[in-house]
Amino acid sequence: MDKATLLDWYRQMVLVRRFEQRSAELYQLGKIGGFLHLYIGQEAVAVGSIGARRKQDHVITAYRDHAHALVVGTDPGALMAELLGKETGISKGRGGSMHMADVAHNYWGGYGIVGGHVPLGTGIALAEQYNGTDAVVLCYMGDGSTNIGYFHESLNLAGVWDLPVIYIVENNQYGMGTAVDRASAVPDISTKALAYGMEPKKVDGMNVIEVYEATRDAIAAIHDGKGPQFLDVITYRYEGHSMGDPLRYRTKEEVAKWREDDPIGVLERYILEKKIAGKETLEDIDQEVEKVIEQAVDFAEKSPFPALDTLFDNIYVEA
Ligand SMILES: Cc1ncc(C[n+]2csc(CCOP(=O)(O)OP(=O)(O)O)c2C)c(N)n1
Ligand SMILES: [Mg+2]
């Protein structure tokens, strides 16, 4: 992996982390309404996997969706403005935290219904196959989604039709306050893929390089005619499910253990130990990200709310 790529992944992970921390603060100040699901702890999943995608590949996910947007290259200001419900937001302030989408970057959102986007991602793959392109879909979901009917129907059709889709399970061990083994009849989620003819891979989701390699290999496997792919990416969210989660379902020791594998720390150690760059370079990146975030917040705060007479705009696509 070359130096520029590793430093860019470091920058992206810090960008996601700082964006999330800043949005938590704005939420507590009452500037963000509704739900807010943070990606803190899971950064290596979006950064590593989107690091492997080509421009033509699609990205779709559930409601824990800010990181994917930042990593595909959406302007942080437009994302922050979206969180604040402003007219300049990427979804014109109508979508908020759970419904960020950026068609210019092939990012299809952002959905609040658990598992509801899995057929949509599968359908995008069908469209690409139908049109004879080489594009693939990165369809992200939580572990909880794998218990939903949509998941099973989608994987079945993807298997039947050999669709160019990679199902990426962000297996953060919990769906809200319920541990995987209390909600899923098979605690090893990857085995579910076997029922649909896919050979699942388990991936260390705290290691950005491993996530990148697994995704790169999955794209290559699709192009080799091996059909849809399934990655069970083992990760952890350090914060609550959403804001205001009292976290009574897991112990402090468990969280502390996972913090030792903080994905930013893992990459930082790798960069320093292999002498790819020094501490100062990483600190410079931290500072640079800090500025980007402050500019994003400033832009969002100064932007206007949508005008009242636009209330019914952007609901249906004009024919
Ligand atoms: C169909 C449906 N059922 C229930 C909910 C309420 N709900 C919101 S998030 C969530 C947990 C999903 O967990 P998981 O898929 O593991 O994603 P994570 O939040 O861990 O990223 C539930 C049950 C919902 N939004 N949609
Ligand atoms: Mg989960």
Separation of CA 252 and ligand 2 centre (Å): 18
Give the position of tokens 């705009």. Answer: 313
Task: Check: pTM over 0.85? Answer yes or no.
Answer: yes
pLDDT at 139: 99
Ligand 1, CB cutoff 6 Å, lining residues: 64, 112-114, 142-145, 170, 172, 174-176, 241
**Which ligand 1 atom is at minimum distance from the Cα of 171?**
16
Separation of CA 15 and ligand 2 centre (Å): 22
Ligand nearest to the CA of 142: 1
Contact (Cβ atoms closer than 8 angstroms) between residue 227 and residue 189:
no
How high is the mean pLDDT of the chain? 97
How far is Cα 252 from Cα 206, in angstroms, rounded to an integer? 19
Mutate to test the pocket of ligand 1, among 36, 38, 98, 114 (most ligand atoms within 8 A of CB): 114
CA–CA–CA angle 24, 30, 35 (5° rounding): 60
Read off the pLDDT of residues 19-48 as tens digits, 9 standing for 90 and up: 999 999 999 999 999 999 999 999 999 999
pLDDT at 140: 99
Calculate the alpha carbon distances from 38 to 25, 197, 230 in Å. Answer: 12, 33, 24
Separation of CA 144 and ligand 1 centre (Å): 6
How far is Cα 62 from Cα 151, in angstroms, rounded to an integer? 12
Closest CA to 136 of 255, 235, 216: 216
The DSSP H or E segment spanning 137 is: strand 137-142
Read off the pLDDT of residues 118-162 as tens digits, 9 standing for 90 and up: 999 999 999 999 999 999 999 999 999 999 999 999 999 999 999
| φ and ψ at residue 229, rounded to 5 degrees | -120, 155
Residue 204 zone, left/alpha/beta (φ > 0; ψ -120 to 50; rest):
beta
Separation of CA 63 and ligand 1 centre (Å): 9
Q: Residue 203 has what DSSP assignment?
A: E
Confidence of residue 311 (pLDDT cuts 50, 70, 90): confident
Q: What is residue 152's three-state secondary structure?
A: helix
How far is Cα 296 from Cα 300, in angstroms, rounded to an integer? 6
Confidence of residue 262 (pLDDT cuts 50, 70, 90): very high
Read off the pLDDT of residues 116-125 as tens digits, 9 standing for 90 and up: 999 999 999 9
Confidence of residue 312 (pLDDT cuts 50, 70, 90): confident
- What the chain holds in terms of domains, given with CATH numbers, is 3-296 (3.40.50.970)
**Residue range 286-307: mean pLDDT, rounded:** 98
How far is Cα 148 from Cα 152, in angstroms, rounded to an integer? 7
Task: List, as ranges, residues with CB under 5 A of the ion ligand 2.
Answer: 142-143, 172, 175
